[in-house]
Structure 1
Amino acid sequence: MSEYTTISLRKEFVADVEEYVEDEPFGSVKEFVKHVVVQEMESDEEISESEARQIGQRLRDLGYVD
């Protein structure tokens, strides 16, 4: 039996993802997020620390991260 955990996301973010996945081959936000995370983990590309900070700031500015 698999164990699960819960990840909290802002409702506005989930609504944006739901709208995006309407025209994509994903059955749910959960499937899409899992796909993106696995794809990123398997990627050999790395981002710099500066790029990571910029991405974090952009997500905060958009209200997706506290």
Structure 2
Amino acid sequence: MSDYTTVSLKKEFVSDVEAYIEDEPFGSPKEFIKHLVIREMESEDGISDDEARDIGQKLRELGYVE
């Protein structure tokens, strides 16, 4: 049994991430996204519930989240 799960992302989003990290030291969008999530989880600044809702709404409007 695998210790991993799958997260589905729109191909357009992944392409945008690939273009963004082209000159960065990340080997793949997966590595970059993992880095961002860990950094955010370890951050003491965090975001408010209202900010999280706003971000979620913007991602839905852009079609990244259903």
What residue is the counterpart of 2:3 in the other structure?
3
Q: Secondary structure at the match of 2:46?
A: coil
Stretches of structure 1 that go unaligned for 5 or more consecutive residues are none
What residue is the counterpart of 1:37 in the other structure?
37
Total equivalences in the alignment: 65
Q: Percent identity?
A: 69
RMSD over aligned CA atoms reads 1.1
Query: C-alpha offsets along residues 9-58 of structure 1, whole Å, 9 cap, x if unaligned?
Result: 11111010011010111010111011001101110012111111110111
Superposition TM-score, scaled by structure 2 size = 0.90
Runs of 4+ more than 2 Å apart: none
Stretches of structure 2 that go unaligned for 5 or more consecutive residues are none
Superposition TM-score, scaled by structure 1 size = 0.90
Q: How does 1:1-66 map to 2 (within 5 A)?
A: 3-66=3-66
Q: Which amino acid aligns with 1:24?
A: E
